[in-house]
Amino acid sequence: LGLSGPPGAGKSTFIECFGKMLTERKYKVSVLAVDPSSSTSGGSLLGDKTRMTELSRDMNAYIRPSPTRGTLGGVTRTTNEAILLCEGGGYNVVLVETVGVGQSEFAVADMVDMFILLLPPAGGDELQGIKRGIIEMADLVAINKADGDLIVPARRIQAEYVSALKLLRKRSKVWRPKV
């Protein structure tokens, strides 16, 4: 599964919860987390693993943060090979978290079985901010953090994306993207 979305959408938190659910069901889970590299120093924080503390201690999980090192598209130059190595290493589920910032971070969509776009319910004009590029590639749009005071904005943004997806050309004859 490939996951992308704007900063603050809860990608790492979602992956930790989903990953723990999978390991409790006896799946072996691999997480390939891609972090942006600095255009000045070339360095990267590789902080996603620190946000997945429970999953990082799980013996049935493997988390590998990697810097983009200037590669565009939200993944690294070797993400596809890393997916194959994880599958070959016996991991049943491979989750790839992209740098996830906007319209063009969807290179992972061609590397995975399902591409999920995670969105927060109250981030402003989401349709204007994300636009066509990444939306056209999404197999599933998940509105995250949809509880408490955010239930109403989450339902609104869900309706907006359901409408928007109807206007886009379908990528598959058998699957219609869900929101």
Q: Is pLDDT above 70 for 128?
A: no
- The domain ranges of the chain are 2-167
Better pLDDT: 70 or 96? 96
pLDDT tens, residue by residue, 49-64? 667 889 999 999 999 8
Contact, 65 vs 31, CB < 8 A?
Answer: no
The pLDDT mean for the chain works out to 81
Entry pTM:
0.83
Least confident of 71-75, 85-89, 146-150, 175-179: 71-75
Average confidence (pLDDT) over 104-108? 66
Q: Is pLDDT above 90 for 20?
A: yes
Better pLDDT: 109 or 159? 159
Q: Is pLDDT above 90 for 85?
A: yes
For residue 44, the model assigns a pLDDT of: 44
For residue 3, the model assigns a pLDDT of: 92
Q: Is pLDDT above 60 for 132?
A: yes
| Whole-number Å distance between alpha carbons of 15 and 135 | 20
Query: Can you spell out the DSSP letters for 40-107?
Result: TT------GGGG-HHHHT-TTEEEEEEE-TT-SSSS-TTHHHHHHHHHHTT-SEEEEE----SSS--G
Share of the chain above pLDDT 90, in %: 40
For residue 62, the model assigns a pLDDT of: 94
- Whether domain 2-167 has CATH 3.40.50.300: the reply is yes
For residue 66, the model assigns a pLDDT of: 79
Q: Is pLDDT above 50 for 129?
A: no
Q: Is pLDDT above 90 for 27?
A: yes
Q: Is pLDDT above 70 for 46?
A: no
